[in-house]
Amino acid sequence: MKNSALKGALGALAVVGVALIAKKAIQRKRFIKGIFNEYGIKERSPFGLADKIREMNDEQYQELKGKFKKEFASRCCRKDNTVEA
Residues spanned by the domain of 62: 31-71
Residue 64 within any structural domain of the chain: yes
**CA dihedral for 30, 31, 36, 40, sign (positive or negative):** positive
Q: What mean pLDDT do residues 53-59 have?
A: 88
Instruction: Tell me the CA end-to-end span of the chain in Å, nearest whole number.
Output: 50
**CA dihedral for 80, 81, 82, 84, sign (positive or negative):** positive
pTM for the predicted model, two decimal places = 0.64
Q: What mean pLDDT do residues 63-77 have?
A: 81
**Closest-CA residue to 72 (of 25, 23, 19):** 25
Number of domains in the chain: 1
Residue 4 within any structural domain of the chain: no
**Quick one: pLDDT band at residue 80, thresholds 50, 70, 90?**
low
Residue 45 within any structural domain of the chain: yes
**Quick one: pLDDT band at residue 20, thresholds 50, 70, 90?**
very high
pLDDT exceeds 60 at position 76:
yes
Q: What mean pLDDT do residues 49-54 have?
A: 86
Residue 26 within any structural domain of the chain: no
**Quick one: pLDDT band at residue 18, thresholds 50, 70, 90?**
very high
What pLDDT sits at residue 16?
92
